[in-house]
Amino acid sequence: MTYTLENYLVGLHTGQWFGFDGEHTYANLVIHSDDTKPTEQECIDGVTALQTIYDNNQYQRDRATEYPAIADQLDDIFHNGVKGWKATIQLTKDKYPKGGN
């Protein structure tokens, strides 16, 4: 996913407080409320921060697709105990470490 100016702006205020007059660029940003228009630098920094958070959490998305289904995990606990289940889960955690790529 690549974050955009619109992604950033949606998180600043509730409701339909902004729009665009043409392309979705800062130059075309129109404010439809009493809210203050953020500076272009604030928008750049905000989009960068959103993207950094998303990128830094890739390991979570990778793990989520690799973990066994909950029913299979419960079966693992039943047959192998919590220690065995932890060993199974640790394989995925080791494959996709926090902060790893």
Cβ contacts of 12 within 8 Å, gap of 6 or more: 35, 38, 46
pLDDT of residue 68: 97
Among candidates 87, 5, 94, 95, which has minimal Cα distance to 45? 5
Cα 87 from chain centre: 27
Domain boundaries, the chain: 5-56, 68-95
For every one of its 101 residues, what pLDDT tens digit does the chain have, with 9 covering 90 and above? 999 999 999 999 999 999 999 999 999 999 999 999 999 999 999 999 999 999 999 999 999 999 999 999 999 999 999 999 999 999 999 999 997 55
Instruction: Specify the pLDDT at position 99.
Output: 79
